[in-house]
Amino acid sequence: MADIRFDELVLLECEFKMWPSPQAQEGPEEPETPGTEVADEREERFDSEYPTENFIRWKSTASREGDRFLLFLSARLEAPRLPFRMTFDIAARYTTTEESLSAERARPTLIWLAYPFLRELVYNITGRSPLEPYALPPLTRLPEPEDFEPPET
């Protein structure tokens, strides 16, 4: 069994956006005709309880130099059922005593070791918004990351 020690994690970039209010998107509110209801898109998409599915998608690369691993991870947390969108990039360093372990083979374990810090990051940032904090679900097995297309800048 490989011995991998987590050394540090650095947040390189982060973007958090909440849904804009329907009034801001549509402009001034028009008088309502009696007997009609104005549909709030946000209420239809988000019912004040977060879904339990894991909506985070990421790309990651790992490299090795000597006894150190370096993980770069770009993540996106976005779904129609969430009232926000969040993207972030992190870098994490690890130390190992296993000489024959390649960076690519260690990558799922490196993500696994960084995941509690990603959960804390998401919880802290969403908790500073007007919404309730969002907690990523815990990982119950080593991840097999799914790729996503990075946001266009």
What predicted TM-score, i.e. pTM, was given to this entire model? Answer: 0.73
Tokens of 45: 């998409």
| Alpha-carbon distances, residue 86 vs 13, 14, 55, 60, 97 (angstroms) | 11, 7, 11, 17, 35
Rounded CA gap, 70 and 37, in Å? 54
User: 75 CB contacts (<8 Å, ≥6 apart)?
Assistant: 56, 57, 58, 87, 88, 89, 90, 118
pLDDT in tens, the chain (153 residues): 579 999 999 999 999 998 764 444 444 455 455 554 444 444 445 556 788 888 889 899 999 999 999 999 999 999 888 899 999 999 999 999 999 999 999 999 999 999 999 999 999 999 998 888 999 988 877 666 444 444 444
